[in-house]
Amino acid sequence: MTRIKLSSMMFLQYMMYAVWWVPLAAYLTNLGVGSTEKALILSSMALGCILSPVIGMVADRFFAGQKVLAGLNIINAIMLFLAGTTNNSDLLFVYLLIAMFGYMPTWGLTSSISMAHLSSEEFPKVRVFGSIGWVASGIFSIIFIKFFNINFDGTNIPFYCGAGVSLLAAVTNFTLPNTPPQAKKEKISFIEIFGLRTLKMMRDRNFAIFIIFSFISMIPFAMYYSFFSEFLLHINTKYISVTMNWGILAEMGFLLLVSPAIKKLGLRKVMILGLVALTIRYLAFYAGGVISQSWMYYIGILIHGLIFGFFYVGGQIYIDKKAPAELKSQAQGFIFLVTFGVGLLAGNFICAHIIDFFRVEGATNWNGIWGVTTLLSVSTLLLFVLLFKNNISKK
C-alpha cells in the first residue's frame, strides 16, 4: 500500500503542473500578451526554482513532509484557480509566481518522502509515475475537445484542471506515510541551500566549462520548453498538450538508455550526444518548415528525452562523480539552479526577443526562428566538443 500511495503522489504531482504549463505560451498568445511580459510569465517556473530551496528548507524544519506537501498543494490549487479567473496579464504573473513558489519545492519534497520509505532500487519504479502523470495530463485536452466540443489548449481551462488535480493531491497527501522533519535541529545556511559552496569547484577548468555550457544550452532549450505550444498554435494544431506529451512518453525509454550508454561510451560522449540531439531537434523544425513537411516536427518532439536524459541527467551524474562527498547534494542543487533556475529565466527572455525580432505586422516567421536556434545549438555543440576535454571513467 505504501508504494501505491507514493506512486499516486508522483502521478498527481506532475499531472497538476503539466496540464497547464504545456499549453501556457499558446494561451498567452491568444491573450495578446507582449513578448517581454510573456517571457516574464513563462519564467514563473524558473523564479520558483530559484527560491524553492529556501521555502523547502524552512518548511522541512517544522512540519512532517506529507503535511508540508499538502499545504503547498493547497496554495498551488488556490493560485491556479485565481489564474483561471483573470485576463489581466499582471495579475496572471502574480498568481503563477505564487503558485510556483508553492509548487517547485514539491519536486524535491516528493522525492525525499519517497526515499524515506523505499530502498534506492525501488525509488525509480515510483518516480516513473511522475512521467506517466505528465503524459496522462493530455487526457484533459481530449475530454474537453472530443466529449464537450470545447477548445482546451490556448484557453484558461487548463488552470482550473490543474487546480482540481492539485486539490485532489492535497487531500490524498494526508494519507501518505508519516515523514517527520529530518533537519529540525540543523542550523540554516543560505550558502549551503543554494549550493554556493560548489563555486570553489569552478577552479577545475573542465567543471567550470560544464557549468557554463549547462547555462548556455538552456537558451535554445527554452525555445521548445517554454514557447513550442505557441508554434503549435501557429500551425493550427488541435491537440497541443497531447502532441507535446509524445516527447515525455519517449523520454521514459531514453532515460533507461542513459546508464548503459555511459558504461559503453563514457560521460563526455553521452553529454555530447545530448547536444547533438538538441541540434537535430531544431534542424528538423527548420527543415520541416522550409520543405513543408510537418511530420518532421515530430522528430524534434520525440527526441526530447534524448536531449534531457543524455545532457541534463548525464550532467547530474557527472556532478555526482566530480563533487566531493560533502558537496554532492549541494552541487546537485547548484546545477538545478544554473539550468532550470537562472538558465531558463535568461533563455525565456532571449527567446522572447528572438520571436519578437521575427514578427512582422502580426505574422511570425518561425522558419527564421528555428534557423537561429539551430545555429545556437550547433555553436553550443562545437564549442563544448572543443573545450570540454574531461572524460570520467565509463564504469
Q: Is 148 helix (H, G, I), strand (E, B) or coil?
A: coil
207 and 163 belong to one structural domain: no
Residue 38 falls inside a structural domain: yes
State the CATH number of the domain containing residue 118.
1.20.1250.20
- Boundaries of domain holding 139: 1-174
pLDDT 10s digit of each residue in the chain, 395 long? 888 999 999 999 999 999 999 899 999 999 988 888 999 999 998 898 887 777 766 666 778 888 989 999 999 999 999 999 999 999 999 999 999 999 988 887 888 788 788 875 677 778 888 888 998 998 998 889 888 888 888 899 999 999 999 999 999 999 999 988 765 666 666 676 666 777 888 888 999 999 999 999 999 999 999 999 999 999 988 888 889 888 888 887 887 788 888 888 888 999 999 999 999 999 999 999 999 999 999 999 999 989 988 898 888 888 878 878 767 766 777 888 889 889 999 999 999 999 999 998 878 999 999 999 999 999 999 999 999 987 565 54
261 and 357 belong to one structural domain: yes
Q: How many domains does the chain have?
A: 2
Cβ atoms of residues 26 and 241 within 8 Å? no
123 and 208 belong to one structural domain: no
**Cα 41–Cα 144–Cα 241 angle in degrees, nearest 5:** 45
Residue 190 falls inside a structural domain: no
CA-to-CA separations, 53 to 49, 109, 115, 325, in angstroms, rounded? 7, 10, 18, 20
162 and 271 belong to one structural domain: no
Residue 182 falls inside a structural domain: no
367 and 245 belong to one structural domain: yes
CB atoms within 10 A of CB 132: 17
Residue 186 falls inside a structural domain: no
167 and 217 belong to one structural domain: no
Residue 295 falls inside a structural domain: yes
